[in-house]
Every structure is written in C-alpha cells, then in structure tokens.
Amino acid sequence: MRTAQQILADSAVIAVVGASRDPFKAAHGVPLQMQQYGWRIIPVNPTVDELFGERAYKSLADIPHPVDLVDVFRPAADAVQVVRDAAAIGAPAVWLQLGIVSAEARRIAEEAGMDYVEDRCLIVERAAANLTRLT
C-alpha cells in the first residue's frame, strides 16, 4: 500500500465526493487549493452543475474518464457506499478527509486492492511533502 504522500504524487485527477459550493467549507477550500497546485479536480455533487470551473457529476459512475483518487467529504456512514462506488469505477485509491474514519470502508477498499487513507487532509499532506503538479 502506498503512503498518503505517494498517492498524491502519483495522482493527477481527483474526484471529490461531497465537494461544496460554500467557500467557507473545507469541502470547497481543500479541492480548490489542490486545483491551484495543479491537480485536476472533478467535483461529485448532485446539487450543482459546475464547481472549480469543472463540470460536476451526480455520482462517481457518471464520470466519463478514469480518476486516480477519490477524495471523500461525506460522513463516515456514507463513506462505505462511496468506497464501493470507487471500487466499481476502478479507482486505485480512496481518501477520507480529516475526521472521517470507517473500518467498513477500509475493509472494502482493501478487498478491492485499493490504497486507502482516512482521517487525513489532502492539503496538509501536499504541503508536508511540498508536492505540486505545476510545471
């Protein structure tokens, strides 16, 4: 299993389940900052058409191209289904944001052969490793 920083270094396209249009929420600020450092952010939110200048999708299954990482901004109870959906689209890794922990989601990810991170923040890990996708 790759470390959190290896997952970020290897990923170019991040689907963000629960991405928010509210600029005061972490589910908006975190993906926006990752985008500013060069990652392509694909928002997954059934209530909006576009976020971060990208088309938003109602579900992971609706995204018409591969994603490298599924980032989850949903309650732990919802994470189980999100991980199942991520496995169904062949995502190589799932990341549950800070404060989100699920033993069942971890089990599903491990059984699907996916890398799994929980209770950690993308931007903190990005900063700690000084990662960028900008050239």
Separation between Cα atoms, residue 42 and residue 130, nearest integer Å: 22
pLDDT given for residue 135 in this prediction: 81
In a domain? residue 82: yes
Q: What is the pLDDT of residue 79?
A: 97
Please return the burial class of 77, using the count of CB atoms within 10 Å of its CB with bins 0-12, 13-18 and 19+: exposed
In a domain, 61, yes or no: yes
Within 16-121, where are the H helices?
26-36, 76-88, 103-111
The CATH number covering residue 40 comes to 3.40.50.720
- Residue 118 domain-assigned? yes
62, 65, 74, 100, 134 from 97: Cα distances, Å: 22, 23, 8, 6, 23
Domain membership flag for residue 34: yes
- The range of the structural domain enclosing residue 8 comes to 4-129
User: Is 52 a domain residue?
Assistant: yes
Q: Per-residue confidence of the chain (135 residues) as pLDDT tens digits?
A: 899 999 999 999 999 999 999 999 999 999 999 999 999 999 999 999 999 999 999 999 999 999 999 999 999 999 999 999 999 999 999 999 999 999 999 999 999 999 999 999 999 999 999 999 998
Q: Would you state the pLDDT for residue 1?
A: 86
- 135 located within any domain: no
In a domain, 134, yes or no: no
Taking the CA atoms of residue 76, residue 78, residue 80 and residue 82 in that order, the dihedral angle to the nearest 10 degrees is -120
Given the structure tokens 């992971």, which residue do they identify?
60
Q: Is residue 62 situated within a structural domain? A: yes
Q: pLDDT value at position 56?
A: 98
Q: How many domains does the chain have?
A: 1
